[in-house]
Structure 1
Amino acid sequence: MNIPESEQFKALFYEHYPIVRRKLAALVRDDTAADDLAQEVFLKLYRNPPDDPGALGAWLHRVLTRAGYDYLSKKASERRLQDKQELLFQAEPSPPSGEEAVLNKLDQEDVRVWLDELPERDRQALLLRYSGYSYSEIAGELGIRPPVVGTLLSRATQKLRQHAAESLPQPD
């Protein structure tokens, strides 16, 4: 089927455009988008018509359905991205108050004191782990076998908790 002759294409356009647009409007539920998508469908028809003129209706239906689903998929992706951005915007913490900043600084100083009370290897292991190092990277830094890292971290954490518990005031 070789459609691009202007009169023949114009006749097909006027005959099928209302149906294509109506189906797209029902699919995407947006009249403006349906107009744009219908134009895309007829552009595809103009550029790459089906080989069989008898299959034009089925071809148009297949192309309009694909265009509609692609549009809906794109809109869903945009909505998900917008939702993520809104969540991130809402999750941004407010700057700490003066009192919170002082308490955080005191907490950090307490943790530094407790860390200083640990043996060097335990302190290094904990600092590396909380700096984002993997177990294999920690093993390489400390010169130990990777399977030992988990045990070392567990024991170091237990010692840190013990120092913290001993340092905190006990209730009467």
Structure 2
Amino acid sequence: MEHSAPDLFRQQFNQHYPSVRRKLIALIRDEAAAEDLAQETFLRLYRNPPDQPEAIGGWLHRVLTRLAYDYMDKKARERALTQKQEQNVLAQPQAIDSNEQQLIDKDEQERVRGWLDTLPERDKQMLLLRYEGYSYAEIAQQLQVRQPQVGTMLRRAGERLKRQALKSESAITQE
């Protein structure tokens, strides 16, 4: 009598699940995550079984290893991001600026705005978008230009802004 596919899967699951779970726990050292990854391993087995049923042990080992490494990479990226965010928070000045410093900062912002207003509109938009954290791809999309051009256009806009600032500063010192 031949077994149906669900019966064969159930048999393979009962036979291999304990070792798959045990290997995952040893690799990632998190029992709950190992349970999830073991389920994912057998879900992949159910959806896409190996061509050779006698090689199922090796196939399961390969899949569980890939899943474990992917999980550990993801966790490492999450830890690195968390550390970077913590460092950014710690690096920011905690003291409240004095009124004098706030006035100086406001004056500098107004001067930069004045310099920006003298630039062509596209240069101004490009520099403001980059300052706000937009990627080159997002800037290209916003301004409807080709992405490879954005770097050159930003550099040129920055040079124009710098020239305007130097011209403006030299005019002030001559007064």
Aligned to 2:28: 28
Aligned to 1:10: 10
CA drift of 1:26 comes to 1.1
Aligned to 1:45: 45
Aligned to 2:97: 96
The answer to whether structure 1 residue 136 and structure 2 residue 156 are counterparts is yes
Local SS of the residue matching 2:50: coil
- Aligned CA-pair RMSD: 4.2
The answer to whether structure 1 residue 78 and structure 2 residue 78 are counterparts is yes
CA distance in 2, matches of 1:4, 1:76: 38
CA distance in 1, matches of 2:4, 2:66: 21
CA deviation profile, 1:22-72 (whole Å, cap 9, x unmatched): 111111111111111001101111111111111111101110001101111
Structure 2 residues not aligned, in runs of 5+: 129-153
CA distance in 1, matches of 2:39, 2:155: 57
Paired residues in the alignment total 141
1:50-65 equivalences in 2 (<5 Å): 50-65=50-65
CA drift of 1:13 comes to 1.2
TM-score by length of 2: 0.58
CA distance in 2, matches of 1:13, 1:75: 27
CA deviation profile, 1:95-143 (whole Å, cap 9, x unmatched): 31235335x36x958xx7xxxxxxxxxxx7xx97xx85956347xxxxx
CA distance in 2, matches of 1:50, 1:68: 19
Local SS of the residue matching 2:51: coil
CA drift of 1:92 comes to 3.4
Identity fraction in percent: 47
CA drift of 1:5 comes to 2.2
TM-score by length of 1: 0.59
Does the 8 A contact of 1:25 with 1:34 survive in 2? yes
CA distance in 2, matches of 1:64, 1:40: 9
